[in-house]
Amino acid sequence: MVINSLRGGAAAGGTRMRQGLDKREVESLAKTMEVKFTVPGPAIGGAKSGINFDPHDPRKRGVLERWYKAVIPLLKKYYGTGGDLNVDEIHDVIPITEDYGLWHPQEGIVNGHYHATEPQKIQKLGQLRQGVVKVIEDATFTPSLARKYTVADLITGYGVAEAVRHYYELWGGELAGKRALIQGWGNVGAAAAYYLASQGVRVTGIIDRAGGLLSEDGFSLEDIRQLFLDRKNNTLTTSDLLSFEEISQRIWSSGAEIFIPAASSRLVTRGQVEQMLAGGLEVISCGANVPFQDPEIFFGPTGEYADQHASVIPDFIANCGMARVFAYLMETNVEITDQAIFGDTSRVIRRALERTRQQGNDRTGLAQKSFEMALRELV
């Protein structure tokens, strides 16, 4: 576990699990979280928990239980956590920490940052308990009312898609009819694809860890909805699946204006960016934290190259949806409805992009400008 700082008396960042994870990865993600909180708030430090373990191992639950038991003292006082790669907010984090006496995984922020009185603590934690696991009832925000998806399931992907919509409104261009490539078909990638398709975007390519799909004309909204609903263990599942080898060779040169990297960190290579640029790439909305294959924590040569040649909406803006939901629900007497929660996330992302645009109308250098503003705020 890494705490980058206790700015504002607290720090927050999710818990991730993957085989091969090391301390440097957790350090870099904790620093990224510190930058991220400059967008959604609250004004706290960044942190991250990481577990080097195979998430498909049947012993996963026991590993998580022992981990949360170890960090409960910090979660009580000044650390807030949530779901992340291969760790689910609703099914893993909340029930396990509740068993250890935590009212909510964000309790440490309520105590450390807000210094809440007992009534304030009850109100804020009550809003968190209700809002994060709230089942979405408004058909506008879910691919299926029958499946009972929660805010936590969909809000990050929604924000990634809204970042693209706001980008075209602010910098100019028609969103409907654009082509999109999606990397990763978990909650973030699949949800972003669904919301983009709802706006008239043609998803033409999907690459997931087991394989992928291509369609020159783009998949229909109903196709995307069905692919979303048919996922098994958050992976793309279809009888038409192309092998990983084939999709890896074909997707990057297939042509699209929008790219959503929403798989693991540090996967996107310089060669892949070059191929997408040759195919008309305009904007990258980062659903994954630190998506480019660089060792540097914030900006390496691949990220810089992408930022110099396309519009890169950085992760701390594009995928801040869950962090913003936490911040929103810790405010006083908020409205806990689908429209209020999703609308708030969309507005926060738009305001961040508006501030970036005030630095200049250029369509390149967005990530660098955004980072510079965030770092100035932190320094």
pLDDT by residue, tens only, the chain of 379 residues = 999 999 999 999 999 999 999 998 899 889 989 998 999 999 999 999 999 999 999 999 999 999 999 999 999 999 999 988 899 988 999 999 999 999 999 999 999 999 989 999 999 999 999 999 999 999 999 999 999 999 999 999 999 999 999 999 999 999 999 999 999 999 999 999 999 999 999 999 999 999 999 999 999 999 999 999 999 988 999 999 999 999 999 999 999 999 999 998 889 999 999 999 999 999 999 999 889 998 887 778 999 999 999 999 999 999 999 999 999 999 998 999 999 999 999 999 999 999 999 998 899 999 999 999 998 888 7
- CATH 3.40.50.720 domain extents, the chain: 153-319+349-377
Residue 2 and residue 12: Cα distance in Å, rounded?
10
Contact status, residue 205 vs residue 254, Cβ threshold 8 Å? yes
Contact status, residue 283 vs residue 205, Cβ threshold 8 Å? no
Topology (CATH) of 2-132: Rossmann fold (3.40.50)
Predicted local distance difference test score (pLDDT) of residue 231 = 95
Outline where the chain has alpha helix (H).
23-36, 60-77, 94-99, 107-112, 118-132, 151-171, 187-198, 221-229, 244-250, 270-278, 301-309, 315-318, 321-329, 338-357, 366-378
DSSP string for residues in 289-323? SS-BS-SSSS--HHHHHHHHHSEEE-HHHHT-HHH
In this structure, CATH architecture of domain 153-319+349-377: 3-Layer(aba) Sandwich (3.40)
Residue 191 and residue 43: Cα distance in Å, rounded?
28
Which pair of structure tokens corresponds to residue 231?
């996922």
Predicted local distance difference test score (pLDDT) of residue 118 = 92
Residue 248 and residue 265: Cα distance in Å, rounded?
17
User: For 319, what's the count of Cα atoms within 13 Å in the CB-facing half-sphere?
Assistant: 28
- CATH 3.40.50.10860 domain extents, the chain: 2-132
Predicted local distance difference test score (pLDDT) of residue 298 = 74
Query: How close are the terminal C-alpha atoms of the chain, in Å?
Result: 23
Predicted local distance difference test score (pLDDT) of residue 294 = 87
Which residue reads 């807030």 in tokens? 80
Residue 218 and residue 65: Cα distance in Å, rounded?
43
Q: What is the pTM (predicted TM-score) of this model?
A: 0.92
Chain mean position to CA 11: 18
